């Protein structure tokens, strides 16, 4: 079976996260999106674990859960996950066999207060965190591995240096893609995950990046096996130039710098702001190849942008305005899930209802984007005028 999966989100208990991040809302919005399997996120927080137990029911002993409020209707299932921060502020994604296992694991970690935040600060080194995760039959890997604030590569030059062992996967993050990551030799042996890290349940945030995965059956064990053995058959996400830390740039005025110039200026912008090394610059430092060397079996990486954001850009209306939401709902009524519209529905069919949208989706599918690149904490933007509008 083939599923669409977003394996990294957060709950209402994480900092700067929507209060609407609850199981019923997440399940309903993921159905619109076309997501078959969604992460629970925050599975070491006792308040969230209690909500999960009250809101979800396990399908047999599979480690897969579905919402109690819509067991017969929902096509979206949940898998237990958590993101943790280690003693050097590096973030790690852990995929867990069950809610019961998450309860048991909580006491294994050293932290001031496990319930202080949905993404707990673990006062332990990453090798110890990995060791505990594997003792509980979890799979673990670096979250948004290139992110300059909390990604593994901001602190280490290799994954082995971080864990003193091999991780089970690598999550790329919004500012990188397969073509950039496969310039680094050590990553050729890893399965790449593309996840949303969403703090909001709405479809323009949740599953803005997702994975298409081939499973033997819908279970935790099958998912873990598929990830470890690279049965991800498609990665979908933003053009990395749209990530807010893609280029090296000032976090105040957003001026772009070369790595050499930034270093010469001691990472201090002429405006007085701090220059932050971008993902592209860090990948260049770590690269073994000038062009990507994809290993056998590496799946394609497909650029997408949430449907509501496309409508917002085309019609110059806010994502949450009634105008955009009505058009969004009509498109779902006509063509099915958002993912189907973005990736599968025939362009001529979309054009019969919305010519402008069809042209923009075609630009994405043909990889003809013209992007004003992201840097210094500022998201990039697609120049649709140049792109053929």
Cα separation, 116 vs 114, whole angstroms: 6
8 Å CB contact between 36 and 236 = no
CB neighbourhood size of 150 (10 A): 20
Where do the structural domains in the chain lie, given as residue ranges?
2-240, 306-382
Helical segments of the chain, H only: 23-33, 46-55, 99-105, 126-135, 159-163, 178-181, 220-228, 259-264, 279-286, 307-315, 322-335, 338-343, 347-351, 355-365
CB-based burial label for 252 (10 Å; 0-12, 13-18, 19+)? middle
Task: Print pLDDT tens along the chain (389 aa).
Answer: 999 999 999 999 999 999 999 999 999 999 999 999 999 999 999 999 999 999 999 999 999 999 987 545 567 999 999 999 999 999 999 999 999 999 999 999 999 999 999 999 999 999 999 999 999 999 999 999 999 999 999 999 999 999 999 999 999 999 999 999 999 999 999 999 999 999 999 999 999 999 999 999 999 999 999 999 999 999 999 999 999 999 999 999 999 999 999 999 999 999 999 999 999 999 999 999 999 999 999 999 999 999 999 999 999 999 999 999 999 999 999 999 999 999 999 999 999 999 999 999 999 999 898 899 999 999 998 887 644 44
Cα separation, 259 vs 130, whole angstroms: 33
8 Å CB contact between 377 and 348 = no
Cα separation, 7 vs 121, whole angstroms: 20
Q: Could you please report the per-residue DSSP string of 217-243?
A: SSSHHHHHHHHHTT-EEEEEE--GGGS
Which helix (H) or strand (E) is 64 found in, with range? strand 64-67
CATH 3.40.50.300 fits 2-240, yes or no: no
| The pLDDT of residue 388 | 47
Cα separation, 213 vs 209, whole angstroms: 13
Angstrom distances, CA of residue 206 to CA of 2, 65, 197, 253, 275? 20, 18, 8, 29, 29
Angstrom distances, CA of residue 43 to CA of 46, 52, 82? 8, 9, 5
| The pLDDT of residue 73 | 57
């Amino acid at each position: 079976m083939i599923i669409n999966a977003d394996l990294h989100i957060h709950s209402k208990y994480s900092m700067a996260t929507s209060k609407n991040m609850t199981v019923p809302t997440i399940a309903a919005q993921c159905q619109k999106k076309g997501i078959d399997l969604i992460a629970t996120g925050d599975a070491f927080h006792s308040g969230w674990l209690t909500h999960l137990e009250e809101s979800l029911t396990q399908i047999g002993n599979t480690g897969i859960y579905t919402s109690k409020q819509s067991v017969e209707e929902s096509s979206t299932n949940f898998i237990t996950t958590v993101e943790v921060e280690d003693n050097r502020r590096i973030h790690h994604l852990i995929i867990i066999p069950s809610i019961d296992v998450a309860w048991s694991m909580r006491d294994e970690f050293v932290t001031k207060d496990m319930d202080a935040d949905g993404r707990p600060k673990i006062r332990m080194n990453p090798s110890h965190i990995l060791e505990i995760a594997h003792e509980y039959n979890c799979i673990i890997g670096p979250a948004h591995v290139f992110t300059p604030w909390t990604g593994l590569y901001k602190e280490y030059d290799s994954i082995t240096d971080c864990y003193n062992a091999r991780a089970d996967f690598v999550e790329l993050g919004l500012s990188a893609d397969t073509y950039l990551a496969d310039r680094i030799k050590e990553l050729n042996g890893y399965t790449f995950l593309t996840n949303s890290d969403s703090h909001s349940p709405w479809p323009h945030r949740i599953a803005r990046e997702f994975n298409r995965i081939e499973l033997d059956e819908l279970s935790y064990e099958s998912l873990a096996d598929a990830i470890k053995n690279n049965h991800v058959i498609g990665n979908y996400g933003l053009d990395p130039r749209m990530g807010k830390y893609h280029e090296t740039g000032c976090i105040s005025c957003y001026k772009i710098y070369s790595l050499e110039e930034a270093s010469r200026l001691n990472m201090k912008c002429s405006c007085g702001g701090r220059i932050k090394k971008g993902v592209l610059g860090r990948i260049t430092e770590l690269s073994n190849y000038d062009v990507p060397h994809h290993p056998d079996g590496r799946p394609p990486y497909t650029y997408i942008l949430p449907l509501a954001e496309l409508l917002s850009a085309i019609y110059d209306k806010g994502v949450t305005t009634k105008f955009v939401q009505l058009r969004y709902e009509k498109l779902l009524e006509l063509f099915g899930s958002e993912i189907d519209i973005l990736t599968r529905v025939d362009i001529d069919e979309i054009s019969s209802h919305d010519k402008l949208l069809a042209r923009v989706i075609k630009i994405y599918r043909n990889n003809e984007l013209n992007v004003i690149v992201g840097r210094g904490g500022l998201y990039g933007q697609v120049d649709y005028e140049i792109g053929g509008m």
